[in-house]
Amino acid sequence: MNKKMTSLILMAALIAPGMSCWADSTNATGNNNDPLKHPVNAYTNHEVKEDMKDSQENSQKAADAKASYNQAKTDYEDSLKANGAESQNHQGREEAHAEGASRNAEVQQRNRGSE
């Protein structure tokens, strides 16, 4: 029994100094966040937290903007279909293309004739 008690006291004496090193101001990476003792660590940790928060806010804003854009695009396409503008636009583009091609052919013939 005397041997068990001695070993228990010895173990407690060895563990006690190590326990005093563990503090609430030490984070998972081992940095001490106490701003008076380690102002650089405290500032860096603060900046990291703020950057993470800004990144989350910016990601949310980007997702909202993309959803808004997709909704506006869908509304625009639906209004084109409802008004019949899509088929008229397509037909008008084909006519303009054909007209432009015939003008180009006329100009090329005139240029060849003047040479």
Domain boundaries, the chain: 84-115
Q: Write the Ramachandran bin of 84: left for phi over 0, alpha for psi from -120 to 50, otherwise beta.
A: left
Higher local confidence (pLDDT), 61 or 10: 61
List pLDDT tens digits, range 63-101: 999 999 999 999 999 998 888 766 555 556 667 667 777
Higher local confidence (pLDDT), 74 or 24: 74
Beta bridge partners of 32: 26
Tell me which residue has tokens 């966040």. 33
List pLDDT tens digits, range 33-54: 677 777 787 788 888 899 999 9
For residue 23, the SS3 value is: coil
Q: Give the pLDDT band of residue 9 (cuts 50, 70, 90).
A: confident
